[in-house]
Chain A
Amino acid sequence: MIPQALLRNALYLLRGAEFTVLLSAGSIVLSTVVGAIVALSHAFGPTPLRILVELYLFLVRGIPLLILLFAMYYMLPYAGIDLNPIAGGILVIGIYYGAFMSQVFRAAILSLPKSQWDAARGLGMRLPLILQIVVFPQAFRIAAPPFVNTCMQLVKSTSLVSIIGLWELTMAGREAVERTLAPFQIFAGVALIYFCICFSLASYGRYLEKRMQYVH
């Protein structure tokens, strides 16, 4: 039994995967920047800023990503903003996942023992310097495994943009199914490509986690 429909469309799906990777990479960069800013404001910012951050986290935690994608798709044109759909997708996914990234970073920053802060302050260091040479080098290591995990969730979430009409792997799969009428084969192939990406990320995350244990 040779999956002919899948083999004939393999290249087409791989081209879709290229867009998925592109979309994921852009969103990961944006969400990392957003997450870092939000985490620092959440941990060290003044109270009004912290309340704003809490509100943002509350909204992202409770509203489905798809709703925000739809909102962008339907509402931005009314607001007179004409955004390239790929840029729009990256924007929404990046801001959405920025919330999850910020949780990862904040947990890493706050996981350092208080004694290190006290020691650094005792040596006369100010906050930026403490962060730079005491907190960040250690927090990076602690944050690495959950960061990779969040990236994997993000890659899976990029499939949602196919619902608002963006062309990437899932959309390519749907088109291939319409042509070949072989949904099991095609979607199994689509799932396999996602699996390859996500499984490598998950394995890398586990490797980082294991290596972490030797540090302490």
Chain B
Amino acid sequence: MPLDLNFIVRNLPLFGRGLIVTVELSLLAIGLAMAWGLVVAFGRMARVRWLRTVAGAYIELVRDTPVLVQMYFIYFGFSMAGFGMSGFLSGLLALSLQNGGYIAEIYRAGIESISVKQVEGGKALGMSRWDVMSIVVLPQALVRVISPLANQFIVIIKDTSLVSAIAVAELTQIGKLLTERSAASYEVFLTIAVLYLMMTGIVSGLSRLAERQFAIYH
């Protein structure tokens, strides 16, 4: 079956609109998940025991349930409770909450991968707890988390497709509408797949660049 390139070109503005929403949602979710992950990670490593327990339970809870069910819970639940959120906001919230849990574990693994000897060395030199963290541990940990973080960003970008199930006109939803309207399913899915590949490709390319840029040689 020959591809109808004309069809793709004709509908580029429509794809573009969906793409913008997907990019917006992805960037916001990545930003929020990174910030929320930091809070959860600090809770997970806190000195206070109950804080550690709460953070651990939270991580387990968001990681062991599907993000789609979390989206439904937020979207349908709050609208029934009287303060409904848009599909975009519900999706953003669910993506940030779940990936915050994943990213918290990435941060923690990065921080704990720095040898205890370095921390002890820093303390022996008379550095404060904060100085040890900000001068010794974090700069090294940050380099080590680049690649797992980028992987998580890719998961987030791919998972934004799920908000098509709660009526957000992003890339996947646009594709679905176009397919139902025109029956040009090959053209539509090819275009969408290429657009997703471009977005995820940019992220993995940037992460490789960043890793090379900030590499620490031992």
Contacts and interface: CB of A to CB of B under 8 A. Distances in A.
Contact of B80 (A61, A75, A181): A181
A63 B196 contact: yes
Interface in A105-157: 152, 156-157
A99 to B, nearest CB: 13
A62 B200 contact: yes
B73 A61 contact: no
A202 interface: yes
Interface in A157-216: 157, 159-160, 162-163, 170, 173-174, 177, 181-184, 187-188, 190-191, 194-195, 198-199, 202
Interface residues on B, range: 35 or more
B189 A194 contact: no
A71 B77 contact: no
B64 A59 contact: no
Interface residues of A, number: 38
A61 B65 contact: no
B175 A202 contact: no
Contacts of A181: 80
A163 B173 CA distance: 11
A199 B60 contact: yes
Question: DSSP class of B's interface residues: helix, strand, loop or mixed?
Answer: helix
Nearest to B158: A64
Given A59-B197, A187-B77, A64 B172 contact: yes
Given A62-B196, A194-B65, A202-B64, A183 B189 contact: no
A157 B80 contact: no
Contacts of B65: 156, 191, 194-195, 198
A65 B158 contact: yes
A2 interface: no
B193 to A, nearest CB: 5
B63 A202 contact: yes
A182 B80 CA distance: 8
Contact of A70 (B73, B154, B175, B196): B175
10 contacts: A61-B154, A64-B159, A64-B172, A70-B179, A74-B179, A74-B185, A78-B186, A177-B76, A187-B72, A195-B65
Given A177-B72, A183-B77, A191-B73, 16 more contacts: A61-B200, A62-B201, A64-B172, A67-B161, A67-B192, A67-B196, A70-B175, A70-B179, A70-B189, A75-B189, A163-B164, A170-B68, A177-B76, A183-B79, A188-B73, A198-B64
